[in-house]
Amino acid sequence: MDLERSSGVLLHPTSLPGKYGVGTFGTEAYEWIDILEKTQQTLWQILPLGPTSYGDSPYQSSSTFAGNPYLISLDQMVSEGLLRRELLVEALGSTEFRANPDEVDFGALYNWKLPLLRRAAAEFQAQTSSPLQEEYQKFCRENKEWLEDYALYCALKKKFEDKAWTEWPEPYRLRQTKALQEARQELAPEIYASTFIQWVFERQWSKLRAYANAKGIKIIGDLPIFVAMDSADAWTNAHLFQFDKDLTPTHVAGVPPDGFSPDGQLWGNPLYDWEKMAKEDYAWWIRRLQAALKRQDLVRIDHFRGFAAYWSVPYGQKTARQGRWIKAPGQKFFKVIQKKLGNQLPIIAEDLGVITPDVVKLRDSFQFPGMKILQFAFGSDAQNQYLPHNYQQNCIAYTGTHDNNTARGWYEEDAPEYDKDFVRRYFSTDGWDIAWTLIRGVFSSVAQMAIVPMQDLLSLGSEGRMNYPGRARGNWAWRYRREMLTEHILWRLSEMTATYGREREKKAAEPDPVYEEAVKAAAKAADK
């Protein structure tokens, strides 16, 4: 992938400001893109856009192809005639509605927003003369391969009180033809609602992405290597996973024990049957990547090392200790992907953690840029691969990620004294402005791309953390308020972008408006 020297911000759409309890694809999203343009950024990195379920993690989605209904802008639906304002007002008056500007209440969204979208779907279905009906039907035809099964999966989930598909009655769990035919008739309204919601999601996101691209901003998406056990993907394509004849997993995903986790991490995702996938020429993966690249310009693949080898844990184990490494198709897989999608694959490899030579070889064979996290740089010596002077150009440099504490939170609460001392010596700093010290570190490096989490731009402490890995609940909820992003912060970002040659237009940075006002005030005071 031919990367230009550039920079951008990591911010999931749920974290955007807005009045309905969650960030959406509405006005605030377009304003955010304008901010990126104003500050000379050319990259917007997001987390996976799929529907979330228990735990609210975008990395455990009920579908790798579907979109998250919570991100739909209700005001945009009203303006386009897809939602009556009276229905919206009624929903906002319900006891379930929550509008906390600082964090997302996913439970409240489930109880008020999803029913509202279903009511909008029912009304749209009755509007046979709507000029948008043809567009909706076209969407259904073009996405039939995954949409019909996903909509049926959602309807059955509702029918069986949100139980996982592995707990459904056998005829539905095993996808027996007669049972599914009867379900499609019985649950037709619910099925229609899901297809309608997905259409609205796709048309809103497509418009937002087109707006970003027109402003010279590329979207970096995120694709977990594995899918969730309770997902339409696993239920619909069970033959491609390591299941027995009753569709019970034989082995599941995780990572081995290490210095941070003596029992390892038992993720529980179903593992692929790579031999069966190879016999189908990796068709499912090709569809998955095509769908991802239809929505995003570049795709970061989470846990990239799983393409070289994966940690396989026998199903039923309480920890990941009893697992073992199993070789994955690696080179063969990506050669097929190249043949189908082109040689210049816009893929970023998440290559963090303990990376073995086979993973490095796989990444470099296809020239995928890896990731460098500055927070990881200060625990050893000058040879640490995450220190900026050791970077290679073909990488993406980050101050931190969604799984880390914020830069300030890390420095103030997590970093050992040795690491803090190393930071102070490395950057010749007293640690006072630590977030922007680290931002300068990644922006000034040779890395072709530099990405900063929004929380670090705002110099937030651990109160701004997005995710605590291993914690089941209470993650992914952080949001920012528009007034937090001051003109001074925007100037600092623009100035640093220009200083280190990452700007879109090569020009000198504008003077700091805060500094200019201070100079004027000082001059007036001197005159008096």
Same domain, 377 and 472: yes
Same domain, 252 and 300: yes
Question: Of 403, 412, 433, 512, which is the active-site residue?
Answer: 403
Q: Is residue 311 part of a domain?
A: yes
Same domain, 433 and 326: no
Query: Which residues have C-beta within 8 Å of that of residue 14, sequence separation ≥ 6?
Result: 22, 23, 68, 70, 71, 104, 476, 479
Q: Please tell me whether the overall predicted TM-score, pTM, comes out greater than 0.85 for this model.
A: yes
Same domain, 328 and 413: no
* Domain boundary residue, one of 485, 503, 523: 485
- Quote the strand ranges of 54-98, DSSP E: none
Same domain, 242 and 342: yes
Q: Is residue 335 part of a domain?
A: yes
d(CA 491, CA 496): 8
Same domain, 413 and 461: yes
Q: Is residue 2 part of a domain?
A: no
Count of Cβ atoms closer than 10 Å to residue 340 Cβ: 15
Q: Is residue 119 part of a domain?
A: no
Same domain, 322 and 426: no
Q: Is residue 359 part of a domain?
A: no
Query: Which residues have C-beta within 8 Å of that of residue 484, sequence separation ≥ 6?
Result: 458
Annotation says 516 is catalytic? no
Q: If you count them, how many residues does the chain have?
A: 528
Annotation says 495 is catalytic? no
Q: Is residue 394 part of a domain?
A: yes
Count of Cβ atoms closer than 10 Å to residue 139 Cβ: 18
Tokens representing residue 337 in the block? 């992907």
Count of Cβ atoms closer than 10 Å to residue 248 Cβ: 10
Same domain, 431 and 342: no
Phi-psi region of 36 (alpha: psi -120 to 50; beta: other; left: phi over 0): alpha
Same domain, 336 and 401: no
Q: Are 274 and 331 in contact (CB under 8 A)?
A: no
Domain count, the chain: 2
Q: Are 116 and 155 in contact (CB under 8 A)?
A: no
Question: Of 56, 202, 233, 302, which is the active-site residue?
Answer: 302
Q: Which of 366, 454, 370 is nearest to 408 (CA)?
A: 454
Same domain, 302 and 334: yes
Q: Is residue 441 part of a domain?
A: yes
Q: Is residue 38 part of a domain?
A: no
By residue range, what is the domain housing residue 391?
369-485
Annotation says 149 is catalytic? no
Q: Can you give the pLDDT of all 528 residues of the chain as single tens digits? A: 677 999 999 999 999 999 999 999 999 999 999 999 999 999 999 999 999 988 999 999 999 999 999 999 999 999 999 999 999 999 999 999 988 999 999 999 999 999 999 999 999 999 988 899 999 999 999 999 999 999 999 999 999 999 999 999 999 999 999 999 999 999 999 999 999 999 999 999 999 999 999 999 999 999 999 999 999 999 999 999 999 999 999 999 999 998 778 899 999 999 999 999 999 999 999 999 999 999 999 999 999 999 999 999 999 999 999 999 999 999 999 999 999 999 999 999 999 987 899 999 999 999 999 999 999 999 999 999 999 999 999 999 999 999 999 999 999 999 999 999 999 999 999 999 999 999 999 999 999 999 999 999 999 999 999 999 878 888 999 999 999 999 999 999 999 999 999 998 755 555 666 656 765 666 676 666
Query: Which residues have C-beta within 8 Å of that of residue 5, sequence separation ≥ 6?
Result: 448, 449, 501, 502
Question: Of 350, 419, 456, 503, which is the active-site residue?
Answer: 350
d(CA 395, CA 391): 8
